[in-house]
Amino acid sequence: MADIEQQLRSAMHAAVDGEEAAAGELIRLVRRRHRRHATWVGAVAVLAVLAVTISAAITLHGRVFTSAPVSRPHHPTQQHLPTKLSGLPMPAGTDVQVLITDSSGAAWYSTATRRTEQIGGLPPSQGGYQFGRLYGGWSAESTTRSSPCPANQCAGQPNQFYFIADGARTATRIGAGYAQDGVVASNRPGAVWLATYPSATASLAGSATAQLVSTTGRALGPRYRLPAGYALGFGGGNDLLLVNGANQNLAILWDPRTGRVLRHFDNVIGSSPEQIAWSAGCPSCRVQILNVSTGQTATTPIPGGDPASLNVGFSDDGRLLAVQLPSRELAVFDTDTKTLTPIPGTALSSAESLQFNWQHGGYRLIITAGPNNQPPLQLAYWQPGQARLKVATVQNPSEAMELETGTIG
């Protein structure tokens, strides 16, 4: 257990260092995830947690990281909010699997067995791996990188990307890509967009290409040259969401086959392979969601006056959008029924850390809450039709530490 704990902590520090170095990357706003989702989207953590039904009596591992910390406006009433999630005890019969990484590769850690099972197909990597959410699984990229120019100014040396399907014990090689997040999700199971550049010294925002490939590296379409000044952000339907290098609050939906710009966006706050959420940011604005396949836009009840403060995450299929409201309460917007459902027991004091993401990209929302690196820590889940959270408490300090350094799958 001590060896596992040391590996996790070392990997955590390596990931934090990597995230700080990559903070200015062009696609960070699009992939704030939730990584991702996508990304998804967002910052990649060292651990990926895949949760099933769990026993409150079991000692639990794995933490939800959806994005880098965001600055939220102060609400005077927040100091009077509770410090703990409230709900019903988590039902018996639970296991939580944590995707961990160290210099030997990656492995699944089971809280039921307290053992690791190595994932085949991944070569050793001195700095371990970074994970990003894809449709039906995770991308894995070695954190050991070299660059011939200052950070974020050129593509850098190509890096190998791998695909780990949800729960799989073997990874498959996707191919060599350039720059952080060189692989992003598409709307097709088993397919991803791979970003490449003509050389290691090429500008990040001036000479990128994108190609749809399978999760085993087979080309599924031609290679497209991206417009100058834009970088690959996310696959949306049959099109691509691209991020402006000069102003990362601006993005476009681009048709790679015709080279046409289909739509401009202010402040993209989240995306899935079929949905794009954004807000113009005016005081009375509401978050908008575009279905890229149908072209229909829905106006949500979610306040969009301060888009940068919103912490959101789509399910893999884009139907459900989880969001932490300005009141600090979690809510879920259903893009089919156009309803926003608050989740009771989730509005906590601003002194408490609360993170969330969708299990396997499905319809079970996994939540962790508690003071940073200090037990007790709470792990909970909610799914549509459920009136209250199901909550378990983690008292063990070392396990609480691991919960503080993971990301839900």
What is the pLDDT of the chain when averaged over all its residues?
75
CATH number at residue 63: 2.130.10
The answer to whether residue 80 is domain-embedded is: yes
pLDDT digit string (tens) for 80-130?
888 899 999 988 766 767 788 888 888 887 666 767 889 999 999 888 888
Strands of the sheet with 330-334, listed across from one edge: 311-314, 320-324, 330-334, 339-342
In a domain, 212, yes or no: yes
- Per-residue pLDDT band for 20 (boundaries 50, 70, 90) equals very low
Three-class DSSP category at 21:
helix
Query: What is the pLDDT, as a whole number, of residue 211?
Result: 93
Q: Is residue 409 part of a domain?
A: no
Does the residue 374 lie in any domain?
yes
Does residue 27 lie within any of the structural domains? yes
Six-digit token string for 157: 């040396």
Q: Cβ atoms within 10 A of the Cβ of 95, count?
A: 16
Between residues 21 and 325, the one the model is more confident about: 325
For range 159-169, the mean pLDDT: 91
Q: Span 286-300, mean pLDDT? A: 92
Q: Flag whether 408 is in a domain.
A: no
Query: Which pLDDT does position 58 carry in this prediction?
Result: 26
> Taking residues 361-372, what's their average pLDDT?
83
Specify if 264 maps to a domain. Answer: yes
Contact 311, 66 (CB under 8 A): yes
> If DSSP codes are grouped into helix, strand and coil, which group holds residue 3?
helix
Instruction: Give every CB contact of residue 262 below 8 A, 6+ residues apart in sequence.
Output: 239, 252, 253, 254, 255
In a domain, residue 284? The reply is yes
Adjacency order of strands within the sheet including 275-278: 268-271, 275-278, 286-291, 297-303
Q: pLDDT at position 246, please?
A: 75
pLDDT digits (tens, 9 = 90+) for 49-75: 333 333 222 222 222 223 333 334 444
- Scored b (16 or more CB within 10 A) or e, 220-250 reads eeeebebbeebbbbbbbbebbbbbbbeebeb
> Which secondary structure element, helix H or strand E, spans residue 20, and what is its range?
helix 2-21
Q: What is the dihedral of CA 104, 105, 108, 114, to 10 degrees?
A: 10
Q: What is the DSSP string of 66-107?
A: -SS-------GGGGGS-SS--EEEPPSS--EEEEEEETTEEE
Neighbours of 208 (CB within 10 A): 27
> Which structural domain, as residue segments, surrounds residue 339?
2-403
**In which order are the strands placed within the sheet that holds 389-394?**
87-89, 389-394, 377-382, 365-370, 353-358
Domain total in the chain = 1
Q: In the prediction, which pLDDT does 369 show?
A: 86
- Identity of residue 99: L
Instruction: For residue range 255-264, list pLDDT tens digits in order.
Output: 999 999 999 9
